[in-house]
């Protein structure tokens, strides 16, 4: 195997991650035939097939699984060496890898742009996932930092709250409850809810906020996209529990209204998360410091919406967040 190259290993790792040569080619800015050639050459160097096909599905062989572990270990060590050299030079460059849940893609690119304006040599890599995909990114060490609402309770991670994250109940402007004041939460049991998919950060947050009432809500539809949920609400198909950070444009345009429900906005937090054992590159450390220091103020300025009671609740949460405490997620008490 002495003729195996780092490029072959990187191509192989991408192909396994996607289990699709075309998608790997897109990520690596290569052609599909070039990806196939690199993997064929790697298999020739190993002396054993790396993939096997059963029906229309491809699987890793035993040799492929062994090479995947080696590929990830080698590419990680190369990255650590690059980061170590960058640290000696200071934060004048480097690649920042950040993964964020889908609710964050409404404002997070502008947060990254604000950071990049202070570090012009930094290369940014932002990926957006549902909760399951983001946790997989963390578990597979494919991202330096993750931004989410619900840090995993069963992983050895560092999770730091950096900004408040309000959730609200939204409805179409002509809904019977639009304009009503101090709506009892029990009144929502009669409404049709359009809900995010089971296991998503929004679904878990909704379950926690409603507590025992959650099981009594009339959920008529579950969708995997906040955008699709908003359009369904606009169409009059029901009401929804959504992040206030995702509805600013619809509120300004008058397509949605926020219902004045007792106990809302429900104030949770945005968390910055990374594996406890991960050696963060200098650019990730710099971004973490930036987000913990300025993230809350920056997000408040970027996300413009008016929700009654939000300022009061945000001030209530600001003090504990300012501590910047880290915690071992596995030791966090269950709710």
CATH code for the domain in which residue 24 is found: 1.10.10.10
1 lies in a domain? no
Instruction: Examine the fold and report which residue of 57, 83, 109 is the final residue of a domain before the chain moves on.
Output: 83
289 lies in a domain? yes
Summarize pLDDT for 119-142 with one digit per residue, the tens. Answer: 888 889 999 998 888 998 888 888
71 with 209, same domain: the answer is no
Question: Where are the strands (E) in 122-156, listed by range?
Answer: 123-129, 145-148
49 with 109, same domain: the answer is no
40 with 181, same domain: the answer is no
Of the chain, the percentage scoring pLDDT greater than 70 comes to 86
Does pLDDT of 312 surpass 80? no
The pLDDT value given to residue 87: 56
39: DSSP letter: H
126 lies in a domain? yes
The span from the CA of 275 to the CA of 155, in Å, is 8
302 lies in a domain? yes
The span from the CA of 72 to the CA of 68, in Å, is 6
Summarize pLDDT for 82-103 with one digit per residue, the tens. Answer: 766 665 455 556 788 999 998 8
The span from the CA of 222 to the CA of 208, in Å, is 17
Tell whether omega for the bond before 8 is within 30 degrees of 0, i.e. cis: no
Range of the domain at 219: 165-267
User: Total domain count for the chain?
Assistant: 3
* Interval 158-176 mean pLDDT: 94
185 with 252, same domain: the answer is yes
Please name which of 161, 101, 98 lies closest in space to residue 131, comparing C-alpha atoms: 101
For residue 45, give both structure tokens: 């160097």
Does pLDDT of 314 surpass 90? no
53 with 100, same domain: the answer is no
CATH code for the domain in which residue 285 is found: 3.40.190.10
The pLDDT value given to residue 328: 41
95 with 147, same domain: the answer is yes
229 with 293, same domain: the answer is no
Ranking 13-22, 29-38, 323-332 by mean pLDDT, the lowest is 323-332
């Amino acid at each position: 195997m002495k003729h195996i190259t780092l490029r072959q290993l990187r191509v192989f790792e991408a192909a396994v991650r996607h289990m699709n040569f075309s998608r790997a080619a897109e990520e690596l800015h290569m052609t599909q035939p070039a990806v196939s050639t690199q993997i064929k050459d790697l298999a020739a160097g190993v002396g054993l097939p790396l993939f096997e096909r059963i029906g229309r599905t491809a699987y890793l062989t035993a040799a492929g699984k062994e090479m995947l572990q080696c590929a990830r270990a080698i590419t990680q060590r190369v990255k650590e060496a690059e980061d170590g050299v960058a640290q000696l030079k200071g934060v004048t460059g480097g690649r920042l890898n950040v993964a964020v849940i889908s609710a964050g893609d409404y404002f997070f690119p502008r947060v990254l742009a604000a950071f990049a304006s202070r570090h012009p040599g930094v290369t940014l890599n932002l990926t957006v996932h549902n909760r399951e995909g983001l946790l997989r990114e963390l578990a597979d060490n494919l991202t330096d930092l993750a931004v989410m609402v619900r840090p995993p309770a069963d992983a050895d991670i560092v999770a730091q709250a950096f900004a408040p994250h309000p959730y609200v109940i939204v409805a179409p402007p002509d809904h019977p409850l639009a304009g009503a004041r101090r709506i009892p939460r029990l009144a929502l049991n009669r409404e049709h809810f359009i809900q995010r998919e089971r296991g998503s950060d929004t679904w878990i947050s909704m379950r926690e906020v409603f507590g025992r009432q959650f099981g009594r809500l009339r959920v008529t539809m579950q969708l995997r996209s906040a955008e699709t949920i908003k359009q369904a609400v606009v169409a009059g198909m029901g009401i929804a529990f959504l992040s206030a950070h995702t509805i600013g444009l619809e509120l300004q345009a008058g397509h949605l209204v926020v219902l004045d429900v007792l106990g809302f906005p429900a104030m949770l937090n945005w968390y910055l998360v990374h594996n406890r054992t991960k050696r963060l590159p200098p650019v990730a450390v710099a971004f973490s410091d930036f987000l913990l220091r300025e993230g809350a103020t920056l997000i408040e300025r970027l996300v413009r919406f008016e929700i009654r009671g939000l300022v009061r609740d945000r001030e209530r949460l600001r003090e504990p967040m300012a501590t910047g405490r880290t915690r071992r997620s596995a030791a966090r008490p269950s709710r």
